[in-house]
Amino acid sequence: MNIYPVILAGGAGTRLWPLSREALPKQLLPLCSDLTMLQDTLLRISEWSELKPPLVACGNEHRFLVAEQLRAIDIAPSGILLEPEGRNTAPSVAAAAHFLLQCDPHAVMLVLPADHVIADVAAFHAAVQRALPPVAQGALATFGIVPSGPETGYGYIRRGEPINAAEGCFSVDRFVEKPDRATAEMFVADPAYSWNSGMFLFQAVRYLEELRRYRPAIADSCAHAFEGAYHDLDFCRLDEATFAACASESIDYAVMEHTRHAVVVPAEFGWNDVGSWTALSSVLAPDTEGNVLRGDVYTDKVRNAMVRAENRFVAVIGVEDLIVVETKDAVLVVHKDQVQGVKQIVEALKKKGRTEHMSHAHVYRPWGSYEGIDIGERYQVKRITVKPGGKLSLQMHHHRAEHWVVVSGTARITCGDEEKLLSENESTYIPIGVRHRLENPGKMPLHLIEVQSGGYLGEDDIVRFEDIYKRG
């Protein structure tokens, strides 16, 4: 069997705000190591000789970040599948199944979220091997995690009878929603129950058959979305209108809770879905006081805390069981027992029309990045970095003018009909309504300061005429 890892790299990770945000969610952040969670997931399986190149499914807005992170670890995917908008795992995996079946009618899918931690890769590999015999016979396998405690944040799977000739595999008796504390304690005491990991192994064609059986509308929408798919640079874009009209459901709700062919493989391989700050702190090595510290941090009489400083010096004194996370534009302080409330902060920011839930002060673009330095009445200052060979779109603004000052590197400037090169300490002015472009023709990064002035300074005041990255 040809096994294709399908890496689900969508999702917003709102419970890990202020580090995880819509423009840079947790799977694209280095939370547990020096690599991002997506990179850790890909490298975890990169040396399995029986696996084919991975297929990565992600949101359209994250496509360049995903492609760059794959390039940085020298992973060549079988494809990067772009979802026009999030529709949960059932449609995402259906689209991935269609993608794989176009080149391999016998494709087997190993479906893995990009934001999970697996400490024991060998044990995980062994669990996948145990699932292969029933999958070859048409079963849809999921991996159940042997519970280490009465966790109320996970769903559970109750196993049924053992599968003949498949050691360590069981039929699924039932899936159970996230329980209350008392029920979770009962589940932990019963060896028939496992945590639901959200990882799967099945033949692509069998998944689509079962999806059509139980959710025919989703199956039809995904089939039509893939029929209308088209290639854009190195990406495969699903048809926007068809996929957006698809119902949003998880694999569990759409298929696994209904199919008669579900099997579960209980296993222990150091799994964690890193679904909260408390969960993240539990997978990182603490100091002698039980503290997990990252960045420029000072503590005194602090126990069992997690303190993460991204940009500034952070001092914490005389507290226990706290999470403290500092970024350039937001600080979170929360008791470990209350971390599930972080999602409410994100909702409050949305209702107030703020932007701290969407992006960081440092914003990545396919050509480089920019960072807000100062903002006031009718002006805004940014620090811009353009990678060697990077080129911003040919564009204009209706409401703002811009001054550019080169700090280091060389800039090629297009302003109206004029084109010129600027070096360190040289500057130029871009009037309102004039077509312009900035690019880096050199071998070193280009750094410049941009001063915007005008009546409206929003990022949506951009009219693009030409863009090598094919953005709208």
Q: Which two tokens stand for residue 158?
A: 């109750």
Torsion of CA 28, 30, 34, 38, to 10 degrees: -30
Mean pLDDT of 230-240: 93
Taking the C-alpha atoms of residue 182 and residue 150, their distance in angstroms, rounded to an integer, is 8
Taking the C-alpha atoms of residue 168 and residue 123, their distance in angstroms, rounded to an integer, is 13
Q: Which two tokens stand for residue 405?
A: 């000052």
Taking the C-alpha atoms of residue 253 and residue 420, their distance in angstroms, rounded to an integer, is 58
Report pLDDT for 343. 94
Q: Which two tokens stand for residue 129?
A: 């091997």
Q: Are 259 and 215 in contact (CB under 8 A)?
A: no
Question: What secondary structure, in 3-state letters, does 338-379 show?
Answer: HHHHHHHHHHHHHHCCCCCCCCCCEEEECCEEEEEEEEECCE
How do residues 115-138 score in pLDDT, each as one tens digit? 999 999 999 999 999 999 999 999
The distance between the two most distant Cα atoms of the chain, rounded to a whole number of Å, is: 76
Q: Model-level pTM?
A: 0.91
The strand pair at 262-267 and 170-176 is best described as antiparallel
pLDDT for residue 424 is more than 90: yes
Q: Are 94 and 218 in contact (CB under 8 A)?
A: yes
The strand pair at 170-176 and 193-203 is best described as unpaired
How do residues 388-419 score in pLDDT, each as one tens digit? 999 999 999 999 999 999 999 999 999 999 99
Torsion of CA 225, 230, 234, 238, to 10 degrees: -20
Taking the C-alpha atoms of residue 387 and residue 393, their distance in angstroms, rounded to an integer, is 14
Report pLDDT for 12. 84
The gap between the terminal CA atoms of the chain, to the nearest Å, is: 40
- Of 380, 274, 260, nearest to 19 by C-alpha is 274
> Around Cβ 96, how many Cβ atoms within 10 Å?
28
When pLDDT is cut at 50, 70 and 90, the band that residue 430 belongs to is very high
CB burial of residue 356 (10 Å; 0-12, 13-18, 19+): middle
**What single letter denotes the amino acid at residue 298?**
Y
When pLDDT is cut at 50, 70 and 90, the band that residue 165 belongs to is low
**What single letter denotes the amino acid at residue 6?**
V
Report pLDDT for 258. 97
Taking the C-alpha atoms of residue 99 and residue 226, their distance in angstroms, rounded to an integer, is 8
- Of 418, 382, 383, 423, nearest to 400 by C-alpha is 382
CA 319 to chain centre: 32
Domains recognised in the chain with CATH numbers: 3-272 (3.90.550.10), 280-343 (no CATH), 362-466 (2.60.120.10)
Taking the C-alpha atoms of residue 160 and residue 163, their distance in angstroms, rounded to an integer, is 9
Average pLDDT, the chain: 95
Report pLDDT for 13. 86
* Phi/psi-derived region of residue 364, left when phi > 0, alpha when psi is between -120 and 50, beta in every other case: beta
3-state SS, residue 149: coil
Report pLDDT for 11. 85
Taking the C-alpha atoms of residue 207 and residue 97, their distance in angstroms, rounded to an integer, is 8
When pLDDT is cut at 50, 70 and 90, the band that residue 433 belongs to is very high
How do residues 347-369 score in pLDDT, each as one tens digit? 999 999 999 999 999 999 999 99
How do residues 315-344 score in pLDDT, each as one tens digit? 999 999 999 999 999 999 999 999 989 999
The strand pair at 314-317 and 379-386 is best described as unpaired
Residues in the chain: 472
Report pLDDT for 155. 93
Taking the C-alpha atoms of residue 311 and residue 46, their distance in angstroms, rounded to an integer, is 33
Q: Is the dihedral of CA 428, 431, 436, 438 positive or negative?
A: positive
- 72: part of which helix (H) or strand (E)? helix 63-72
Q: Are 175 and 61 in contact (CB under 8 A)?
A: no
Mean pLDDT of 368-375: 93
Q: Is the dihedral of CA 143, 149, 154, 160 positive or negative?
A: positive
Alpha helices in 235-380 (DSSP H): 240-244, 251, 277-283, 342-351
Q: Are 152 and 177 in contact (CB under 8 A)?
A: no
- 64: part of which helix (H) or strand (E)? helix 63-72
